[in-house]
Amino acid sequence: MPERKGQHTVLFSSRPTILGAAAVVGKKEGEGPLGPQFDRVFEDTTLGAKTWEQAESALQREAATLAIQKAGFVPSQIHFLFAGDLLNQCIASTFGLRELGIPLFGQFGACSTMAQTMAMAAVFVDSGAADVCCAVTSSHFCAAERQFRFPLEYGSQRTPTSQWTATAAGAAVVGIGGKGVRLRAACGGRVVDMGVTDVNNMGAAMAPAAADTLARFLTDTRTVPAEYDLILTGDLSAAGAELFCELTQQRGLRVQDRYNDCGLMLYDRRTQDVHAGGSGCGCSAAVVCSHILREIGAGRLHRVLFIGTGALMSPTSCQQGESIPGIAHLVLLSDD
Amino acid sequence: MPERKGQHTVLFSSRPTILGAAAVVGKKEGEGPLGPQFDRVFEDTTLGAKTWEQAESALQREAATLAIQKAGFVPSQIHFLFAGDLLNQCIASTFGLRELGIPLFGQFGACSTMAQTMAMAAVFVDSGAADVCCAVTSSHFCAAERQFRFPLEYGSQRTPTSQWTATAAGAAVVGIGGKGVRLRAACGGRVVDMGVTDVNNMGAAMAPAAADTLARFLTDTRTVPAEYDLILTGDLSAAGAELFCELTQQRGLRVQDRYNDCGLMLYDRRTQDVHAGGSGCGCSAAVVCSHILREIGAGRLHRVLFIGTGALMSPTSCQQGESIPGIAHLVLLSDD
């Protein structure tokens, strides 16, 4: 049963279990350092679909279907889906998951969506509202580029601080009991806006939200960074990660010796031409639903704070001169 | 504590209370039959903002702030916000609620969002994950028209089955105990796609989802329509409401004698030139958060099934030849 701790943290007393998880990615992500750990790598990033948006839907369907299979269920046994993505009106999720026939509560947290959907699934399962839920999200480089920036055909230049939207999806099936990584707590993110307006530096826009959520979680739970093996943001990438470390230091928190960012883990920045690193809902989803869960399962990590980070802008809000607010939702993943 | 009943229904044993609610609307909505029941009517639908999107943000901020005040709280006492809207990347919610400083879990259910956010708030409060949550949503005619259809300046013709997107926002503060309408149950909606492709007949696209959710809820709870005073969809409007009645009748359910639709209640269709009726997240939000809660509070209604309905399309998905899937989330509102 969930219990609120402090102001914005929820502890899950029945320790919901990730009974199955899947990460599916595109060619470039498959060529990165985590390549061998993904369930499927699609050399053809259209996945046979006619449009990039439909390809992203297919990614999400693949991830959810695989995760449900790996957990030993059929779709009709899943009580609720929590899913979202970056596309206008979340069409990757709604069209991608349409045929599963499972009730769907659409979630929008921009690139923080994986952490948010995991938190929702954990609340539902821990409270008895559901026996089993599935958390899913995705992004697709080609769909995101044309929606947020320029059509690919323009071949436009990218700035050094820009991030590369991952072509990837991740899914986690959450239930009670059984074997698997446990969801022990969640902390809800506030909208934090420091006035950043550079759409090519989302990391800087999101870092203050990540620092805010981490600080509130540590206060709520009266814990310190040293009690966790890994503090993992997703995805601040190079510029944002550096800023995150500075901002946490200003608050008297030492994270550097146990910190990483999904956007820095997905690609080899020296050779893969992704500039500051990866981004997109699918980036942290794929990193967490493969490598991170595996590391915890193998006993190499014990307690991981996964802080999903999102930039809450749209092309319209930017064109209208608005700054870029950030948000960060946190979940505590544990081996016990 | 939530208890799942049947397959997709959740009963709330602590009977979460709507401790305060607010509905704010534009000029046209203020001139409709429910006009006197709204908390605020903005004669100037820009709300003093420079853009329609910012005006919609202001609507949502007004509704949330008023609801929190009416419930006797200040924003810092609200644990979590559940909010969403129709705009790309849900910017009405994220910018509108930014300054409140409350953790925000963004929700996307298209026009079903009010029912979805109420269900989320009820699960969190009933389970102990939060003491008090706020559910909010909005829509704005001018922002929706240019995003989904044409810029207003085109003055384009509308078809008879088209709906009028409400300029409105509604908010409900949900807690435990106290006086107010109770949230007794929720049923999650599945994505239902009957292949409708006419973007000017969203009612037809959503009606099958509403019938599906109602039927599943009644099966899960082993109840019949006669046990409820009102079965309220939001928003199917004229064409969709008729289809909903037919589809429920085909399933052996008699709803006609206790049925209404928020899209038919918000405007006077004879005089207000809204064609099939109202739509948009704000339509059902404003009708429920004013008239419906008031009717229950006054003892004129006792048990109301509010079925929020959404069309899960985007202009992109329609341009790519996709059909329009519908979704419907249900909440049971009660006077005890």
CA B295 from centre of chain: 17
- Give the number of other CB atoms < 10 A from CB of residue B72: 12
Whether A104 and B313 lie within 8 Å, measured CB to CB: no
pLDDT band at A154 (very low <50, low <70, confident <90, very high): confident
Residues B137 and B107 in one domain: yes
Alpha carbons A19 and A70: distance in angstroms, whole number: 8
Render A91-114 in DSSP notation, one character per residue: HHHHHHHGGG---EEEEE-GGGHH
Summarize pLDDT for A269-286 with one digit per residue, the tens. 999 989 899 999 999 999
**Nearest Cβ partner of A4 from B126, B128, B312?**
B128
Alpha carbons B252 and B249: distance in angstroms, whole number: 5
- The answer to whether B271 and B28 have CB atoms below 8 angstroms apart is no
Q: Which residue of B has its CA nearest to A94?
A: B312
Q: Is A89 helix (H, G, I), strand (E, B) or coil?
A: helix
**What's the pLDDT at A245?**
97
**Nearest Cβ partner of B313 from A89, A110, A315?**
A89
Please, how many CA atoms are within 13 Å of residue B295, restricted to the half-sphere of its CB?
A: 15
Residues A28 and A167 in one domain: yes
Nearest to B63 by CA among B151, B150, B173, B153: B173
Alpha carbons A239 and B116: distance in angstroms, whole number: 36
Residues in chain A within 8 Å Cβ distance of B106: 84, 107-109, 116, 312
Tell me, what's the ipTM? 0.97
| Statement: residue B121 has pLDDT above 90 | yes
Residues in chain B within 8 Å Cβ distance of A56: none
Q: How many CB pairs under 8 A join A and B?
A: 195
Distance from the Cα of B255 to chain A's closest Cα (Å) equals 23
- Least confident among A157-171, B45-59, B61-75: A157-171
A208 in reach of chain B (CB within 8 A): no
- In chain B, the DSSP E strands lie at 2-5, 9-12, 17-26, 40-42, 80-85, 104-108, 133-139, 164-165, 168-175, 181-187, 230-234, 259-261, 278-279, 303-311, 326-334
Is B112 a member of any domain? yes
Last residue of a domain, one of A159, A175, A191: A175
**What's the pLDDT at A150?**
83
| A18-to-A71, A97, A172, A216, A229 alpha-carbon distances in Å | 8, 20, 6, 25, 19
A226 in reach of chain B (CB within 8 A): no
**What's the pLDDT at B120?**
98
Residues in chain B within 8 Å Cβ distance of A106: 84, 107-109, 116, 312
Residues B127 and B212 in one domain: no
Is A113 a member of any domain? yes
Residues B30 and B143 in one domain: yes
Alpha carbons A31 and B332: distance in angstroms, whole number: 50
Nearest to A324 by CA among A213, A200, A193: A193
β-bridge partners, A17: A175, A182
Give, as one character, the DSSP assignment of residue A163.
-
| Statement: residue A138 has pLDDT above 90 | yes
Whether B94 and A327 lie within 8 Å, measured CB to CB: yes
Alpha carbons A127 and A14: distance in angstroms, whole number: 9
Summarize pLDDT for B164-208 with one digit per residue, the tens. 999 999 999 999 999 999 999 999 999 999 999 988 888 999 999
Alpha carbons B91 and A184: distance in angstroms, whole number: 31
Summarize pLDDT for B138-176 with one digit per residue, the tens. 999 999 988 998 888 888 888 888 889 999 999 999 999
Is A314 a member of any domain? yes
What's the mean per-residue pLDDT of chain B? Answer: 96
**What's the pLDDT at B12?**
98
Residues A145 and A251 in one domain: no
- The answer to whether A192 and A209 have CB atoms below 8 angstroms apart is yes
| Statement: residue A153 has pLDDT above 90 | no
- The answer to whether A214 and A330 have CB atoms below 8 angstroms apart is yes
Whether A91 and B131 lie within 8 Å, measured CB to CB: no
Last residue of a domain, one of B175, B201, B221: B175
Summarize pLDDT for B225-251 with one digit per residue, the tens. 999 999 999 999 999 999 999 999 999
Residues B157 and B223 in one domain: no
Tokens coding A168: 């990837």
Touching A: B residues 157-196, CB under 8 Å: 187-191, 193
Residues B62 and B142 in one domain: yes
For chain A, give the percent of residues with pLDDT over 90: 92
| Statement: residue A252 has pLDDT above 90 | yes
Q: Which residue of B has its CA nearest to A12?
A: B129
**What's the pLDDT at A161?**
86
Is B2 a member of any domain? no
Summarize pLDDT for B253-292 with one digit per residue, the tens. 999 999 999 999 999 999 998 989 999 999 999 999 999 9
- The answer to whether A199 and A318 have CB atoms below 8 angstroms apart is yes
Last residue of a domain, one of A134, A149, A175: A175
Is A8 a member of any domain? no
Beta-carbon contacts of A71 under 8 Å, excluding residues fewer than 6 positions away, are A19, A20, A132, A173, A175
| B212 preceded by a cis bond (ω within 30 of 0) | no
User: How many independent structural domains does chain B possess?
Assistant: 2
**What's the pLDDT at A162?**
87
pLDDT band at A157 (very low <50, low <70, confident <90, very high): confident
B97 in reach of chain A (CB within 8 A): yes
Is B169 a member of any domain? yes
Residues A170 and A196 in one domain: no
B107 in reach of chain A (CB within 8 A): yes
**What's the pLDDT at A149?**
86
Is A10 a member of any domain? no
What's the mean per-residue pLDDT of chain A? Answer: 96
**What's the pLDDT at B156?**
81
Alpha carbons A176 and B68: distance in angstroms, whole number: 35
Q: Between helices A141-148 and A52-70, what is the axis angle to 10°?
A: 140
Residues A189 and A156 in one domain: no
Residues B23 and B126 in one domain: yes
CATH number for the domain that contains residue A122: 3.40.47.40
Alpha carbons A203 and A163: distance in angstroms, whole number: 8
Nearest to B237 by CA among B229, B227, B245: B245
CA A246 from centre of chain: 22
Residues A163 and A282 in one domain: no
The boundaries of the domain holding residue B187 are 181-334
CB-count burial class (<10 Å; 0-12, 13-18, 19+) for A297: middle
Distance from the Cα of B274 to chain A's closest Cα (Å) equals 24
